[in-house]
């Protein structure tokens, strides 16, 4: 590579060196495309990368989930309402109100939600212990429910997992996957 005098060689050498993390004054002008950082320092996804989240999880949290939430709360909810509900809950320790889309199955008049890849997600831990109040948006309507994390190896959990597997036969459900049952308030 011949010297172009624009500092490109220095930029390339900096990114090729794993010890060099300083993006300080040595960078002049735009970086060549292969070396352009995907996340701008201080951006909303930067914290996710520092926490060790995968790119897929970061995109799901910042792109896919907001679009799905918007669809479920709009007149276009029919596109997803047959398989996805919007679960709104308050964090057990943080007391922050959160909403997340989740696939569901119906068991009698209750909703069954299985947390896929539980090692990479923490939201389901909010439901350990006693029943917790949640709001479910499904089929364009909101319902107040009580959410309960089912204990492993119980008959109720097996019925819930069977209903989920029947609804989604191609979706693998791990034996250790957390299973929530959402019971509408009028049934308590």
Q: Where are the domains of the chain?
A: 77-187
At residue 42, the pLDDT reads: 46
At residue 115, the pLDDT reads: 93
* Cβ–Cβ under 8 Å, residues 35 and 11: yes
At residue 112, the pLDDT reads: 97
At residue 1, the pLDDT reads: 46
At residue 88, the pLDDT reads: 95
Q: Are strands 105-107 and 110-114 parallel, antiparallel or unpaired?
A: antiparallel
- Class of the CATH-defined domain 77-187: mainly beta
At residue 107, the pLDDT reads: 95
pTM of the model: 0.68
State the 10-residue block means of pLDDT for the chain, 188 residues long. Answer: 53 49 48 42 49 74 77 73 90 92 94 90 90 93 95 94 95 91 82
Sequence-ordered list of residues with C-beta below 8 angstroms from that of 136, at least 6 positions apart, any chain: 85, 86, 87, 88, 111, 142, 143, 144, 145, 182
Tell me, letter by letter, the H, E, C secondary structure of 46-105: HHHHHCCCCHHHHHHHHHHHHHHHHHHCCHHHHHCCCCEEEEEEECCCCCCEEEEEEECE
At residue 104, the pLDDT reads: 95
- In whole angstroms, how far apart are CA 174 and each of 69, 101, 114, 116, 129? 26, 20, 9, 8, 21
């Amino acid at each position: 590579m011949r010297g172009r005098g624009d500092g490109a060689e220095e930029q390339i050498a900096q990114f090729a060196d794993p010890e060099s993390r300083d993006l300080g004054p040595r960078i002049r002008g735009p970086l060549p495309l292969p070396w352009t950082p995907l996340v701008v320092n201080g951006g909303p996804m930067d914290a996710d990368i520092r926490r060790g989240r995968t790119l897929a999880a970061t995109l799901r949290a910042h792109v896919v989930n907001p679009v799905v939430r918007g669809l479920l709360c709009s007149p276009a909810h029919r596109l997803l309402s047959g398989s996805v509900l919007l679960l709104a809950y308050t964090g057990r320790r943080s007391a922050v109100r959160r909403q997340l889309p989740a696939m569901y199955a119906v068991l009698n008049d209750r909703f069954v939600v299985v947390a896929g890849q539980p090692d990479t997600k923490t939201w389901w831990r909010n439901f350990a212990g006693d029943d917790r109040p949640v709001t479910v948006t499904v089929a364009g309507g909101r319902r107040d429910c009580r959410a309960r994390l089912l204990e492993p190896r119980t008959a109720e959990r097996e019925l819930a997992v069977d209903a989920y597997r029947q609804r989604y036969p191609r979706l693998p459900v791990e034996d250790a996957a957390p299973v929530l049952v959402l019971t509408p308030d009028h049934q308590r």
